[in-house]
Amino acid sequence: MVELREQESRTLSAIRKLGGKTSVDQVAAETGLSDAAIMRAILTLQEKKLVRTQEEEKSIVRLAEEGKTYAKHGLPERRIVNALKKLGGKGSLGQVFDEAHLEGQFNSIALGWVQRKEWAKLDSKTKILEIRGEPSEGNDEKLLKLLAKEDQKPVEALSHELRDAVQVLKGRKLVEVEEKKRRIVELTAEGQRLSVKAGRVTAELTQLTPELIISGKWRGAKLQKYNIEAAVDNTWPGKKHPYMQFLDEVKQKLVNLGFKQMNGTAVETSFFNFDALYTPQDHPAREWLGIYFVKSPKYGRLNVSPRVLENVKRTHENGWKTGSTGWRYKYSKEEAKRLILPGHGTCLSARTLLSRDLEIPGRYFSIARCYRPDFLDKTHLTEFNQVEGIVVDENLTLRDLLGVLEKFAVEIAGADEVKFKPDYFPFTEPSVELSAYKKGFGWIEFGGSGLFRPEVTMPLGINVPVVAWGLGIDRLFMMRAKIDDIRQIFSQDLGWIRRKEVA
Task: Report d(CA 403, CA 276) in Å as an integer.
Answer: 26
Please report which confidence band the pLDDT of residue 204 belongs to, taking 50, 70 and 90 as the band edges. Answer: low
pLDDT digits (tens, 9 = 90+) for 87-109: 888 888 888 888 888 877 778 88
Residue 142 clears pLDDT 60, i.e. is over it: yes
Nearest of 245, 250, 287, 331 to residue 122 by alpha carbon: 287
Query: In the predicted model, what is the mean pLDDT of the chain?
Result: 87
State the pairing for strand pair 152-154/128-131: unpaired
SS3 502: coil
Task: Report d(CA 159, CA 155) in Å as an integer.
Answer: 9
- For residue 59, count CB atoms less than 10 angstroms from its CB and return exposed for 0-12, middle for 13-18, buried for 19 or more: middle
Task: Report d(CA 468, CA 365) in Å as an integer.
Answer: 10
- Signed CA dihedral, 418, 422, 428, 429: sign only: positive
Q: What is the pLDDT of residue 199?
A: 53
- Segment 266-293 shows an average pLDDT of 92
Geometric angle at alpha carbon 155, from 151 and 161, rounded to 5°: 105
- Segment 128-132 shows an average pLDDT of 89
pLDDT digits (tens, 9 = 90+) for 311-361: 999 999 999 999 999 999 999 999 999 999 999 999 999 999 999 999 999
Q: What is the pLDDT of residue 34?
A: 85
pLDDT digits (tens, 9 = 90+) for 447-482: 899 999 999 999 999 999 999 998 888 888 888 888
- Segment 63-82 shows an average pLDDT of 89
Q: What is the pLDDT of residue 314?
A: 97
Those residues whose C-beta lies under 8 Å from the C-beta of residue 146, and which sit 6 or more positions away, are 153, 162
pLDDT digits (tens, 9 = 90+) for 208-263: 888 888 888 888 777 777 777 767 777 777 888 889 998 998 899 889 888 999 98
Task: Report d(CA 139, CA 347) in Å as an integer.
Answer: 40
> In Å, how far from its chain's centre is CA 228?
44
Percent of the chain residues past pLDDT 90, beyond the cut: 31
The packing angle between helices 107-116 and 93-100, to 10°, is 110
Residue 75 clears pLDDT 60, i.e. is over it: yes
- Signed CA dihedral, 295, 301, 304, 309: sign only: positive
Within 6-89, residue ranges assigned H as helices are 6-17, 24-31, 35-47, 65-73, 76-86
Contact (CB, 8 A) for 308 and 460: yes
Please report which confidence band the pLDDT of residue 440 belongs to, taking 50, 70 and 90 as the band edges. Answer: confident
Sequence length of the chain is 503
> In Å, how far from its chain's centre is CA 194?
51
